[in-house]
Amino acid sequence: MKYYIIAGEASGDLHASNLVKGLFAEDPQAVVRAWGGPKLREAGAEVVHDYRGNDVMGISDTVSRAGSIVSSLHRCKADILDFAPDAVVLVDYPGFNLRIAKFAHRKGLRVFYYIAPKTWATRPWRNKRLRAWVDRLFIVFPFEKDYFGKVGVPYSYVGNPLLDAVDSHVFNPVCEEPYVALLPGSRKGEIERMMPVCKKLAHSLWCKLIIAGAPNRTKADYEPYLEGEKNIEVVFDRTYDVLKGAKAAVVNSGTASLEAALTGTPQVVCWSGSRLTAWIARKVLHVFDHIKYISLANLILDKQIFTELVQEDFTYENLEAEVSTLLGSEERRKAMAEDYARLREVLGGSGASRYAATEMIKEIKHI
């Protein structure tokens, strides 16, 4: 069978690549064409468009890149029609992928959505679109089962693929001396907002700072924050190694925060958007009316496992105080480790990616 996969950022590329491995295992004759990145290519998909360079963060960034996004949509739609897949598989990235879902559905193509849009947090009106255009969601968080059941979107819960990704990794140290890991996000806007604050830690902590470079970025993206700093370095393509060996981590909200939890790394989560993005999130989209936390691990256990510093709270003073506590308090570290163990129990066992592939194939064959 033929599968057309669209992943628009680093985390989606990772999840999609593991899904492709599952598809090839269950369907050895599979042909996979994709919009994605290096992970998808390594997994054996024919990547016809690389997402890197098209990443956007928030409303203001999206507006500024509108022309490029529209052009990409047109090219993607044409390529889907030429390929004529048995299924279009959308991975997260809802701003782009929901438009593709509408198009593919109207063309009579089967549409699957893997890593569902977070409509439980914001933009609940998207559920109407999911019901109309998506044949089945493949969800990865246990709390999503009740939510999507209540809003009437067909779904299969397949477990969380990050467990497989983390547990299959062979860890190798990146540094012999103590250090704090910095994961400032994969989007350029995230890096620009987080790093000016994070780099100040190099002058107040008694340990090194190591940035886990995002796979879609280059050293040039971090250079402004490395210049003149002897105590900061960036390491690429070794995110799990950087996390595992760190005494603590400063993490941008998103997939990286859950990865830090699954590697057992004490962390503080930070998020800062433009003033326009933050205002729209609060006043128009009412994001914080729907959820208590912005981090997946906190959401899954419905408790504050670790501190979140959001927008105005993301200051150097708050960050330095929290990281110092993580480094110095054994009681705090032990409590976080216990919550991490509980998190793993709730997420379930291994095999999520292959199970998702199996369920997709069954859906196509109407088994």
Query: Are 186 and 290 within one domain?
Result: yes
Query: Are 146 and 190 within one domain?
Result: no
Query: What is the DSSP secondary-structure string of 28-57?
Result: TT-EEEEEE-HHHHHHT-EEEEE-TT----
- Give me the chain's average pLDDT, please: 92
Query: Are 115 and 190 within one domain?
Result: no
**Total domains in the fold of the chain:** 2
Q: Which residue segment(s) compose the domain that 157 sits in? A: 2-161+351-365
315: amino acid identity, one letter: T
Query: Are 143 and 235 within one domain?
Result: no
Query: Are 228 and 359 within one domain?
Result: no
Query: Are 43 and 156 within one domain?
Result: yes
Query: Are 205 and 251 within one domain?
Result: yes
pTM beyond 0.85: the answer is yes
Q: What is the CATH number of the domain that holds 295?
A: 3.40.50.2000
pLDDT of residue 283: 61
Between CA 226 and CA 60 the distance in angstroms is 27
pLDDT digits (tens, 9 = 90+) for 12-63: 999 999 999 999 999 999 999 999 999 999 999 999 999 875 554 454 444 4
Between CA 135 and CA 88 the distance in angstroms is 10
Query: Are 138 and 237 within one domain?
Result: no
Query: Are 187 and 324 within one domain?
Result: yes
pLDDT of residue 63: 46
Query: Are 256 and 239 within one domain?
Result: yes
pLDDT of residue 110: 98
pLDDT digits (tens, 9 = 90+) for 169-191: 999 999 999 999 999 998 899 99
pLDDT beneath 50: ranges in the chain: 56-57, 59-64
Query: Are 116 and 85 within one domain?
Result: yes
pLDDT of residue 216: 83
Query: Are 230 and 308 within one domain?
Result: yes
> Please, is 146 exposed, middle or buried when counting C-beta atoms within 10 Å of its C-beta (0-12, 13-18, 19+)?
exposed
- The residues near 252 (Cβ < 8 Å, ≥ 6 apart) are 183, 184, 185, 190, 194, 269, 270, 271
In 3D space, the residue among 241, 312, 320 whose CA is nearest the CA of residue 275 turns out to be: 312
State which H helix or E strand residue 293 sits in: none
Report the chain's terminal Cα–Cα distance, integer Å: 15
